[in-house]
Amino acid sequence: MADCAGIPAIVYMFHQINQHYADVAEALTTKGLVEDDLVEIANVAVVPIADIHRGTLRALKYAKRIATDVRAVAISTNPTMRQRIEERWANFPLVTQGIKLVVIDYDFRDILTPLVDYIEDVHQREFPNELMTVVIPEFIAEEALARLLHNQTANMLQNSLMSQEGIVIIDVPYHIHHD
Q: What is the pLDDT of residues 84-115, one digit of tens each?
A: 999 999 999 999 999 999 999 998 778 899 99
pLDDT at position 33 is 85
pLDDT at position 37 is 80
pLDDT at position 22 is 92
**93 in a domain, yes or no?**
yes
State how many domains the chain has: 1
How many angstroms separate the Cα of 133 from the Cα of each of 42, 63, 66, 74, 142? 8, 9, 9, 16, 28
pLDDT at position 105 is 92
**13 in a domain, yes or no?**
no
pLDDT at position 147 is 62
pLDDT at position 70 is 98
Give the three-state DSSP class for 81.
helix
The long-range contacts involving 20-27, CB below 8 angstroms and separated by at least 24 positions, are none
**127 in a domain, yes or no?**
yes
pLDDT at position 146 is 66
pLDDT at position 43 is 95
pLDDT at position 73 is 97
**157 in a domain, yes or no?**
yes
**74 in a domain, yes or no?**
yes
* Domain extent for 122: 35-176
Q: Are 22 and 111 in contact (CB under 8 A)?
A: no
Residues 26, 88: Cα–Cα separation, whole Å:
50
pLDDT at position 58 is 96
pLDDT at position 150 is 64
Q: CATH no. for residue 78?
A: 3.40.50.620
pLDDT at position 60 is 98
Give the global pTM.
0.84
**19 in a domain, yes or no?**
no
**17 in a domain, yes or no?**
no
**30 in a domain, yes or no?**
no
Q: Which residues of the chain have pLDDT under 50?
A: none
